[in-house]
A = this chain, B = another copy of it.
């Protein structure tokens, strides 16, 4: 996970090459349809000669693949289509959450190459044991894909808590009962591994689909996490702890929260609060709630929607982003949440007369943080392809 730093360094000749190599790689990877060398030249503004040498390097280092030349309708020598190379360089996403742990391997085309998800109950677990288990599982996966000739560029570990990515430390993960852990050594992997917050990586998984360049991602579960995505990149804040929306004030006269304050968002829109409001037990599966909709559960969900709208309004007022993506348990509740969320947003967001605020469900499938983590590794490869040449 990259953290913006202005510390620019002296630019030499090879800096040019690195930058242009990245530029060419991005052009190939971002394009919806395969580009030829000539197309890349036109898209980047580089000379055809330059593009050729750069593309040749990317092909040689197995990041880009040449497809058979397609002899399409028009005159001239047929173009060689360039595409991200499948099953060559891959990224590993890892996650420990309350009720499962898992690993997922993605290749540069975005395809899932291998994965293993294991249900479990890690509510008050031992970090060394759990991370050791995940490490073993991940090693097996890495061995597997390496046997198939792929090389794993790195890994990202998603954790549900306050993560300091720079220090590589998990400050606290209330729902796991973990605090002050350095998880990477406990995995025992011989790969570069970085850690990140679960909601933040899940947000990045959304970038696989059609989504605005900037949005807020809110993931509802037992806790409520959020991530700020700006210009298709995570905004982390000074320490990587941005997006802690779960304890935003909804009503100072509200119920006491486990954090010590009163009327936090989680007391209205957290999983347990919604289930309780619908007359269900705190461990009831989400399906039980959905069967009560519309009907007995509706009031509880709508109350959550209004609370969520209030917290999101603060968020939008402070950060100014026009799209909110709802993930986690909210995804399935969108039909019953959306109107209330939008109504409160319209009422409380100062800029609402000038902007169309949008609330949409998350598009990434289950265990989105695994996908997001793997994608983030590959984004790192793409942003410095010269390291692989």
Q: Which residues of A contact B (CB under 8 A)?
A: 1-6, 8-13, 15-16, 19-20, 22-23, 26, 29-30, 32, 44-46, 84, 106, 108-110, 162, 171, 207-208, 213-214, 226, 228, 230-233, 236-253, 259-261, 310, 313-315, 317-322, 347-348, 350-351, 354-355, 375, 378-379, 382-383
Instruction: Write out the residue numbers on chain B whose beta carbons fall within 8 Å of the beta carbon of A45.
Output: 9-10
Q: List 11 A-B contacts (CB under 8 A).
A: A1-B84, A1-B108, A2-B208, A5-B26, A10-B23, A10-B44, A240-B320, A242-B320, A247-B350, A248-B314, A261-B348
Central interface residue in A213, A347, A351, by most chain B CB within 10 Å: A351
Q: Which of B9, B347, B351 contacts A162 (CB 8 A)?
A: B351
Instruction: Write out the residue numbers on chain B whose beta carbons fall within 8 Å of the beta carbon of A44.
Output: 9-10
Instruction: Write out the residue numbers on chain B whose beta carbons fall within 8 Å of the beta carbon of A315.
Output: 318
Q: A1-B378, A237-B321, A321-B238 are in contact. Are A6 and B232 (CB under 8 A)?
A: yes
The minimal Cβ–Cβ distance linking A129 to chain B, given in whole angstroms, is: 25
Contact indicator A237/B110 (Cβ below 8 Å):
no
The minimal Cβ–Cβ distance linking A329 to chain B, given in whole angstroms, is: 21
Contact indicator A382/B237 (Cβ below 8 Å):
no
A382 to B20, CA, bound (A): 25
Say how many copies of this protein the assembly contains. Answer: 2
A265 to B317, CA, bound (A): 12
Instruction: Write out the residue numbers on chain B whose beta carbons fall within 8 Å of the beta carbon of A253.
Output: 251, 253
Contact indicator A351/B244 (Cβ below 8 Å):
yes
A358 to B322, CA, bound (A): 30
Instruction: Write out the residue numbers on chain B whose beta carbons fall within 8 Å of the beta carbon of A32.
Output: 2
Contact indicator B249/A322 (Cβ below 8 Å):
no
Instruction: Write out the residue numbers on chain B whose beta carbons fall within 8 Å of the beta carbon of A2.
Output: 29-30, 32, 110, 207-208
Central interface residue in A6, A230, A240, A249, by most chain B CB within 10 Å: A249
Contact indicator A5/B259 (Cβ below 8 Å):
no
Q: Which of B110, B244, B249 contacts A250 (CB 8 A)?
A: B249
Central interface residue in A9, A13, A252, by most chain B CB within 10 Å: A252
Contact indicator A11/B19 (Cβ below 8 Å):
yes
Q: Which of B22, B214, B249 contacts A314 (CB 8 A)?
A: B249
A253 to B249, CA, bound (A): 13
Instruction: Write out the residue numbers on chain B whose beta carbons fall within 8 Å of the beta carbon of A106.
Output: 1
Instruction: Write out the residue numbers on chain B whose beta carbons fall within 8 Å of the beta carbon of A1.
Output: 29, 84, 106, 108-110, 208, 375, 378
Q: A4-B232, A5-B231, A11-B23 are in contact. Are A318 and B318 (CB under 8 A)?
A: yes
The minimal Cβ–Cβ distance linking A263 to chain B, given in whole angstroms, is: 9
Which B-chain residue is minimally distant from A264 (CB atoms)? B348
Given A11-B15, A236-B320, A238-B321, 11 new contacts (CB under 8 A): A1-B109, A2-B207, A3-B207, A10-B20, A10-B23, A13-B16, A239-B355, A240-B320, A248-B317, A251-B251, A261-B348
Q: Which of B26, B244, B320 contacts A241 (CB 8 A)?
A: B320
Contact indicator A350/B162 (Cβ below 8 Å):
yes
The minimal Cβ–Cβ distance linking A126 to chain B, given in whole angstroms, is: 22
Contact indicator A319/B320 (Cβ below 8 Å):
no
7 interchain residue pairs of minimum CB distance: A237-B320, A1-B110, A242-B320, A244-B317, A10-B45, A241-B320, A11-B19
